[in-house]
A = this chain, B = another copy of it.
């Protein structure tokens, strides 16, 4: 049972909705997902249709980083036991768990710190001298990039952070930011795989990026990078941050342009020949599990997208529009119906209220379905933490607005102040799970009617 709130109010539709969301969270629990992905039969390890003969390997090393790295390390230990020779994995402060053979390093996230540098150095030390008979299991999850912060020689974390801030202020898109950062890291852009070469590398990945692009998740430490020093330089010029760029960084990029320091790992590089990247959990897995449970519960179910992005409140209105069509015309599926969507929305903060993208999405959809009966809309942060709140999201219906207003709240003021938490709390419509130890972005669901 994940949800501590809301209660189901004896309502079968609400109870079914919570069951659907729980199925999704269960599916993407990092340890459970890893146990499902790794199938061991004696000396043979099967992963995503590929087999590894464990007798072939002299050593099995475990490296990696991310907020879910501790339970992932635990699950790998369960499966491989004493076949693991050694391990160095970095987790966020407090996100630790008992491990037998893998050493866990705690470090800063989202702002990287020197403990993260130390953890990464330990990991690299472990990879020093790996040979063709070594198997390196690389555990990657959300936060992995900040938790493996090893800048190129001569550049400090503070300088890297200063440039990142300047780029964010300049409005540079995330792709541009990534091109720069990969060229200032010793790990990103396939470089971790190059450090492990010629070992066999099995990267096991919990994706916190919409669409699960391998080169973006944790800055792609085991994946080819198509961006170049030239691209990185162009970003600084295009977004006019060259003057604010620390001299050490300019120097490094200039040396890169001159071919004096190695590029990130490019597609086709032999360093990637023995690398197998496997997504063990992502938004699609969560959405599929939700859809399967909804279907099993008797809802006519469609999984519409796992790529949803956009302003949270506007996406909430679109979900309401989907609900209305089912109610009015029984399309795209007749009631009892469940539509599942995944992705990650954003909030343009204008007010000083309390909330998060999922709560705001839910509140906006509550306004758009006000007074309707038989409709339930959920929006859930799969990590259990939506914005800077203790809630994971919201679960709203046609009575949400009335309940909140009866408690003295104004829906219009709540939306204007980005104060969805307070309104949904008053209406009894917050979703609370506590930390789930996973993050595969957000899940949204529309329910119309309840199954017979």
Contact = CB atoms under 8 A, between A and B. Distances in A.
A306 B322 CA distance: 8
Interface in A294-316: 302-311, 314-315
Chain A interface size range? 20 to 34
A317 B306 contact: no
A9 interface: no
Contact of A321 (B303, B309, B322): B309
A321 to B, nearest CB: 4
A337 to B, nearest CB: 12
A289 interface: no
Contacts of A302: 302, 331-332
A7 interface: no
Contacts of A101: none
A110 B397 CA distance: 36
A343 B321 CA distance: 9
Contacts of A303: 325, 331-332
Nearest to A291: B331
Interface in A305-350: 305-311, 314-315, 317-318, 320-322, 324-325, 328-329, 331-332, 341, 343
A211 B321 CA distance: 10
Contacts of A310: 314-315, 317-318, 321
Nearest to A320: B307
Nearest to A306: B325
Contact of A305 (B284, B305, B307, B325): B325
A314 to B, nearest CB: 4
Nearest to A416: B171
Interface in A172-223: 211
Given A310-B314, A314-B311, A284 B329 contact: yes
Contacts of A311: 311, 314
A446 to B, nearest CB: 10
Contacts of A328: 211, 306-307
Given A311-B311, A324-B211, A331 B304 contact: yes
Top 8 nearest A-B pairs (CB, nearest first) are A314-B314, A307-B321, A307-B324, A305-B325, A310-B317, A310-B314, A305-B321, A302-B332
Interface of A: 211, 284, 302-311, 314-315, 317-318, 320-322, 324-325, 328-329, 331-332, 341, 343, 368
Given A211-B328, A304-B325, A307-B325, 19 more contacts: A284-B329, A302-B302, A303-B325, A304-B304, A304-B332, A305-B322, A305-B324, A305-B325, A307-B320, A307-B321, A307-B322, A309-B321, A310-B315, A310-B318, A310-B321, A311-B311, A314-B314, A318-B318, A321-B343
29 contacts: A211-B324, A211-B328, A284-B329, A302-B302, A302-B331, A302-B332, A304-B304, A304-B322, A304-B331, A304-B332, A305-B321, A305-B322, A305-B324, A306-B325, A306-B328, A306-B329, A307-B322, A307-B328, A309-B317, A309-B321, A309-B368, A310-B315, A310-B317, A310-B318, A310-B321, A311-B311, A314-B315, A314-B318, A332-B332
